[in-house]
Amino acid sequence: MQLNIFSSLFVLFAIIATVLAADNGHYTVSNLGKRKQEILNNGGTTLELAIAMLETEDMTTNYVYGDGKTGDSANFGIFKQGWFILRSSVTEFKSYGPSDYNKGAVLNTDLAKDIKSRQESQAHYGLDKWFAGHRNGETGINNPNTEDIQNYKDGVYWIKAQLESDKKYLSDDTRFWVYVKPI
């Protein structure tokens, strides 16, 4: 009887591992190694690389302006930080309101400022609250322990672990990806 329980648990684990394995992976993106080095040379860390890598394929701001959003929901920079989290935690943006979201566009063209803003925001909120606000704005700040926020964090940490598993991943064209449900 005990063997059957262990066999069943093993099969269940194998199924779960297979499903999870289908939700992440890696492939090559031309010139991504150069972009990784630009991020690191502008004060970024493997955490910044992982966040940017999860957000866009080429770790740039080549996406629809504001990520197709306006007001506090508008996203800017390689991390696609929301205007709410930026204006509530970054010195340069604290005097602005929701309708001033276009001020965040500077992060689309100034990589060093983008990285500094993400780090300042994290310093203001702490890492867990930063993740919550980054993922779900003011709602996330007020309710940081949702499954969706945890899934996003897990995705970023998985990518970060892959990047840190071999120093070549800090300068080659490998992109790691994790499926996280878009919101």
Helices (H), the chain: 2-21, 32-41, 46-55, 83-89, 111-125, 127-142, 147-164
Domain ranges of the chain: 27-178
Strand pairing category for 174-178 and 81-82: unpaired
Task: Give per-10-residue mean pLDDT for the chain (183 aa).
Answer: 54 46 88 99 99 98 97 98 98 98 99 99 98 96 96 97 98 98 87
pLDDT at 7: 55
Whether 58 and 50 have beta carbons less than 8 Å apart is answered as no
pLDDT at 182: 87
pLDDT at 183: 84
Q: What is the pTM of this model?
A: 0.87
Whether 108 and 76 have beta carbons less than 8 Å apart is answered as yes
Q: What are phi and psi of 28, to 5 degrees?
A: -95, 135
Q: What are phi and psi of 99, to 5 degrees?
A: -75, -10
Q: What are phi and psi of 24, to 5 degrees?
A: -155, 165
The residues that bridge with 176 in the sheet, in sequence order, are 26
pLDDT at 106: 99
Please calculate the CA angle 110-162-146 and round it to the nearest 5 degrees: 75
pLDDT at 128: 97
* Separation CA 115–CA 163 (nearest Å): 18
pLDDT at 19: 44
* Separation CA 144–CA 89 (nearest Å): 16
pLDDT at 3: 53
Nearest partner of 49 among 62, 67, 63, 34, judged by Cα: 34
pLDDT at 4: 60
